[in-house]
Amino acid sequence: MIEVDQNIINAITAHAERDYPHECGGMLIGKFEDGKKSVVETFPLENARDEADRYDRILILPKDVMRAEKYAREKGLDVVGYYHSHPDDKALPSQYDLDHALPVWSYIIASVISGTVVDFRSWEMEFDRSKFNEERIEGIDRKTAAGR
């Protein structure tokens, strides 16, 4: 379960729509407490890949993870996950996403259809790396949150 408020969804939505038709990504900064994650703010990243590859492949560079972790630590927070967009695709994780996932982190995926975010979902990887499980998002109404 992950707790996210509407401001976070608005920030992810704005980033995803701004970068469309390219994929956007960023870190989720927040807290791990009592077996629950909460997101306090987003940490948008520049897409590290070449323009030609941007459409469906995004890479989280180790230096970006380190920057985000340093930023979070200075605020007494943690990196709790990663968000990215799927331009003209569903908010479901791809095999590529699974291959690059870290355990425990939440992966919020925004589906951007024709430039508008229409859906978003949060995923957490199974510990044996076999699949993602959808995670309940608390704190917002997922059905209406993206439908501005």
Binding segment toward Zn ion, per CB under 5 A, in 72-80, 89-97, 112-120, 139-147: 89-97
Binding segment toward Zn ion, per CB under 5 A, in 14-22, 67-75, 87-95, 121-129: 87-95
C-alpha distances in angstroms, 138 versus 80, 119, 131? Answer: 15, 15, 22
Backbone φ and ψ for 47, nearest 5 degrees, come out as: -70, 125
Give the nearer residue to Zn ion in terms of CB position, either 15 or 40.
Answer: 15
Structure tokens at 70: 């340093």
Residue from 3, 97, 119, 124 binding Zn ion (CB under 5 A): 97
Give the nearer residue to Zn ion in terms of CB position, either 97 or 119.
Answer: 97
Rule CB under 5 A: say whether 78 interacts with Zn ion: no
Shortest CA distance to 4 belongs to which of 138, 147, 104?
138
